[in-house]
Amino acid sequence: MNTPSNFSTTVDAAKIFFVSSSTLPDGSTQIEWLGSMMIWVLIAMSVVSIGLITAALLAHRRKIIMPAGTAEAFLRASSTGSTADARSIAAASGSDFARMAIAALDTLPLGRLAAVDAAEQTAEECAARRFRSIESLNVLAQISPMIGLFGTVYGMIVAFQTVSASGGQADPALLAGGIGTALVTTFWGLIVAIPALFAYATIRNWIDALMSEALETTLRGTAQTVARGPNP
In tens, the pLDDT along 4-31 reads: 445 444 545 566 666 766 655 555 566 6
Q: Please check the confidence at residue 1 and state whether its pLDDT lies above 90.
A: no
Q: Shortest CA distance to 100 belongs to which of 76, 70, 135, 143?
A: 70
Q: Is residue 190 in some structural domain?
A: yes
- pLDDT, mean of residues 111-138: 94
| Distances from the Cα of 152 to the Cα of 35, 49, 90, 160, 226, angstroms | 9, 22, 54, 12, 64
Domain extent for 196: 35-141+186-232
Distance CA 118, CA 110 (A): 11
pLDDT in tens, 165-213: 666 566 666 666 677 778 888 888 999 999 999 999 999 999 999 999 9
Q: Please check the confidence at residue 158 and state whether its pLDDT lies above 80.
A: no
Number of domains in the chain: 1
Q: Is residue 198 in some structural domain?
A: yes
CA 23 to chain centre: 39
Q: Is residue 29 in some structural domain?
A: no
Q: Is residue 14 in some structural domain?
A: no
Q: Is residue 175 in some structural domain?
A: no
Identify the band that residue 224 occupies on the pLDDT scale cut at 50, 70 and 90. confident
Percent of the chain clearing pLDDT 70 (strictly above): 78
Q: Is residue 192 in some structural domain?
A: yes
Amino acid symbol at 65: I
Q: Please check the confidence at residue 38 and state whether its pLDDT lies above 70.
A: yes
Q: Which residues pair with 29 in a beta bridge?
A: 23
Q: Please check the confidence at residue 120 and state whether its pLDDT lies above 70.
A: yes
Q: Is residue 1 in some structural domain?
A: no
pLDDT confidence of residue 178? 72
Identify the band that residue 97 occupies on the pLDDT scale cut at 50, 70 and 90. very high
Distance CA 162, CA 149 (A): 20
Amino acid symbol at 76: R
Average pLDDT over the chain, rounded to an integer: 83
The CB density around residue 232, as the number of other CB atoms within 10 Å, is 6
Q: Is residue 108 in some structural domain?
A: yes
Question: Is residue 154 within 8 Å of 177, Cβ to Cβ?
Answer: no
| Distances from the Cα of 116 to the Cα of 55, 107, 125, angstroms | 32, 9, 14
List all residues 6 or more positions away from 182 whose beta carbon is below 8 Å from its beta carbon: 151, 152, 153, 154, 155, 156, 159
pLDDT confidence of residue 7? 40
How buried is 69 (Cβ within 10 angstroms: 0-12 exposed, 13-18 middle, 19+ buried)?
exposed
Q: Please check the confidence at residue 88 and state whether its pLDDT lies above 80.
A: yes
Query: Among 23-27, 46-50, 227-231, where is mean pLDDT lowest?
Result: 23-27
